[in-house]
Amino acid sequence: MPKGRDHILGRIRAALADRPPGGLPEDVAGAAVFAPVADPLARFQAECQANRTELHLVTAANEADCLTAVLAREKEGGDGTIYVQDAPALRALAARLPAATQTNLQFAPAQPAGIASLTLCEALVARTGSVLVSSRCGGRAATILPPTHIVYAHASQLHAEIDAALLAARSQSPTASLYSLITGPSRTSDIEKMLVLGAHGPKRLTVLLRTD
């Protein structure tokens, strides 16, 4: 087996014996490439609207009501449960939902997928209106399998640029096996270039953004 490795690396070394000079540019996505984001929150709002992310700005006072209203709308899903990532902030939030709401802290992809998942995220990106999650946000399937994915985030997690968000995620969750920058609900245009939301992933992506 290691034979292939040695052969390929050997051929690469031989091929690059005449390696051309040249360096790696710093700050590849800097101001010369992308105009700086002036107001990250305003940009995040505008981009979310463009990419069909449903964004709610909430505070401690109204977040439970907002979540209740969002969940009341969800119809699809076999057993009606909401999967909630097992994190203190989300436990506290779930405890304030109406008593009839079925929540589950153990997400099992093999079970009939619930109506929605509620997870944290690692960071938000203003430039593209994206949510950066990792496998530490309730696992891998929780942020892709349910028909609706609800993200609970705080305004302090908002970064103007993708690279800052990636570095933040890596320092918060250095051992995560997966990071995923999510921009709007799942989609496809494979049939005559017509946009359809909800291809294989969530049909709806909702962000509750705490601003206080």
Partner 1 sequence: MSSTLHSFEQAATRAAHDRPQQETVRTSLGTYNRALNAGRERFASWSEARHRARAVKADAVAHLGEYLEQFEARITSRGGHVFWAETAADARDYILDLARRRGVRSVIKSKSMVSEEVHLGAALEGAGLEAVESDLGEFIVQLRNEPPYHIVTPAMHLRRAQIAALFQQKLGTPAGADSAEDLTMAARHYMRARFASAGMGITGANFLIADAGMVAITENEGNARLTASLPPVHVVLTGIEKILPRLTDLALFWPLLSTAGTGQAITCYSSLIGGPRQPGEADGPEEFHVVLLDNGRTRVLADQERRDTLQCIRCGACLNVCPVFHTIGGHAYGTTYSGPIGAVLTPLLRGEKEFGHLSFASSLCGACTEICPVEIDLHHHLIENRRDSALQHVRPLPERIGMRAFRWLMSDAARYARLAQLARHLLRFKNAWVPEGSPLDLLRPWTASRDLPEPPRESFREWWQRTRQERGGHA
> Which lies closer to partner 1 via its Cβ, residue 97 or residue 165?
165
Per-residue CA distances from 31 to 28, 36, 76 (Å): 9, 6, 44
| Binders in 113-132 for partner 1, by CB under 8 A | 128, 130
Q: Does 200 bind partner 1 (CB under 8 A)?
A: yes
> Which residue bears the tokens 């953004």?
209
CB atoms within 10 A of CB 205: 25
Which residues are CB-contacts of 31 (< 8 A; sequence separation ≥ 6)?
Answer: none
> Which lies closer to partner 1 via its Cβ, residue 157 or residue 180?
180
Q: Does 179 bind partner 1 (CB under 8 A)?
A: yes
Taking the complex as a whole, how short is the minimal distance between the CB of residue 71 and partner 1, in angstroms? 21
Which residues are CB-contacts of 101 (< 8 A; sequence separation ≥ 6)?
Answer: 68, 71, 82, 94
Strand partners, 57: 209
| Binders in 8-67 for partner 1, by CB under 8 A | 8-9, 11-16, 18-20, 22-25, 28-29, 31-35, 47, 50-51
- What CA–CA distance (Å, rounded) separates 150 from 165? 19
| Binders in 129-168 for partner 1, by CB under 8 A | 130, 135-136, 138-145, 161-163, 166-167
Taking the complex as a whole, how short is the minimal distance between the CB of residue 102 and partner 1, in angstroms? 19
